[in-house]
Amino acid sequence: MTDAAVAFRDELVGRGLLVATGVDGLYGRGEQFEAVVEAVDRLVVEAARADAPTVLRFPPVMPRWVFERTDYLRSFPNLTGAVQTFAGDDKAHAALLAELEGGGDWSTHLEPAGVVLCPAACHPLYPMLTGRQPEGGRYFDVYGYCFRHEPAIDPARMQAFRMHEIVYVGDPDGAQAHRDRWVDRGLELLGGLGLAVEAVVANDPFFGRVGRMLAANQRDEALKLEVVTPVVAEGPTAIMSANCHRDHFGIPFAIESSTGEVAHSACVGFGMERITLALLHTHGLDAAAWPAAVRSTLWP
């Protein structure tokens, strides 16, 4: 696995598809890579048209209080990224610089900046939905960079990557239907690009002992489905996920369905880098030489 991942990563970097930064999981993107991301993204937008979603874009950082309420720290403390800054005086600045010059840990001189890196594109959305939702619920299209501290050699496991999500907020049936509909749409969209895809029941990598119980529960209730395909890892890799959150966001952000119950939500997330990597892995590193049917779907 590691050898294959190293070889794939080296090829991607060698061809300028990705730009190495010296940190595992952190890359620049080349023009050809972005051309594929953008083409796939147009297909996602097209597939979402039936939902007539409200389009919103958030920065890749979000308020700390929102992060606290999503309960991310309980489930994924190890993936967290929190922003720090310097808030001292001249004297403290001198101490910071002395630490830096001495090769010490200058970050101990920083303080929390009140913002964290978004771990999922949909998280900044929920606090603006407090209150009653219209009948039939609402659909949103959010797209942005996410951060997860999971440095890996496998280029499909990045620390910073983009998720394009279509989110539903409303009643329980609507949330379930959204999730199921998007598994079908995802299979069609991604299978239509010549990827060998299948939908599987999955679980999030919840942290620790309590996390193992949460993961088992999530699986038992089939709350998370993934569309997977071979990339470079031994097993298949998730390139799209469809999650039923139930009232996980409805409760902390006081979101109500049209009838005044706690709102349920569901989101589908397309992993834009992973889809692009799956295409490069399946069809070859030169997109100009991809099968005509795939090219005409991506670039009609």
271 binds, among ligand AMP, Zn ion, none (CB under 5 to 8 A by kind): ligand AMP
* Residue 171 Cβ vs ligand AMP, minimum distance, rounded to whole Å: 23
Show contacts with Zn ion in window 266-295 (CB under 5 A).
Answer: 267
* Cβ-proximal residues to 109 (8 Å cutoff; 6+ apart), any chain: 86, 88, 92, 95, 96, 99
231 binds, among ligand AMP, Zn ion, none (CB under 5 to 8 A by kind): none
Q: Going residue by residue from 169 to 208, which x/- string records binding to Zn ion, judged by CB under 5 A?
A: ----------------------------------------
122 binds, among ligand AMP, Zn ion, none (CB under 5 to 8 A by kind): Zn ion
* Residue 157 Cβ vs ligand AMP, minimum distance, rounded to whole Å: 4
Q: Looking at beta carbons only, is 18 or 267 nearer to Zn ion?
A: 267
Per the structure block, which two tokens stand in for 218?
A: 């999530």
Given 12, 66, 129, 163, the residue binding ligand AMP (CB under 6 A): 163
Given 12, 122, 242, 255, the residue binding Zn ion (CB under 5 A): 122
Given 225, 271, 276, 287, the residue binding ligand AMP (CB under 6 A): 271
Given 29, 109, 123, 148, the residue binding ligand AMP (CB under 6 A): 148
Q: Looking at beta carbons only, is 51 or 294 nearer to Zn ion?
A: 51
Per the structure block, which two tokens stand in for 29?
A: 């993107």
Given 33, 140, 143, 161, the residue binding ligand AMP (CB under 6 A): 161
Per the structure block, which two tokens stand in for 176?
A: 């379930």
Q: Looking at beta carbons only, is 110 or 214 nearer to Zn ion?
A: 214
* Residue 240 Cβ vs ligand AMP, minimum distance, rounded to whole Å: 5
Q: Are 272 and 164 in contact (CB under 8 A)?
A: yes
CB atoms within 10 A of CB 242: 25
Considering only the stretches 89-97, 130-138, 183-191, 236-244, report the one whose residues sit in contact with ligand AMP under the rule CB under 6 A. Answer: 236-244
Distances (CA, A) of 197 to 187, 188, 227: 7, 9, 6
Residue 159 exposure: Cα atoms within 13 Å on the Cβ side: 19
Q: Enumerate the H helices of the chain as residue ranges.
A: 2-14, 31-48, 64-69, 72-75, 90-101, 172-191, 208-220, 272-283, 292-298
* Coil vs helix vs strand at 249: coil
- Strand 264-271 versus strand 160-170 pairing type: antiparallel
Angle at 23 between CA 74 and CA 270, to 5 degrees: 60
* Residue 104 Cβ vs ligand AMP, minimum distance, rounded to whole Å: 31
Compute the radius of gyration of the chain from its Cα atoms.
Answer: 21
Which residues would be at the binding site for ligand AMP (CB under 6 A)?
A: 120, 148, 150, 157-158, 161, 163, 226, 238-241, 269, 271, 273-274
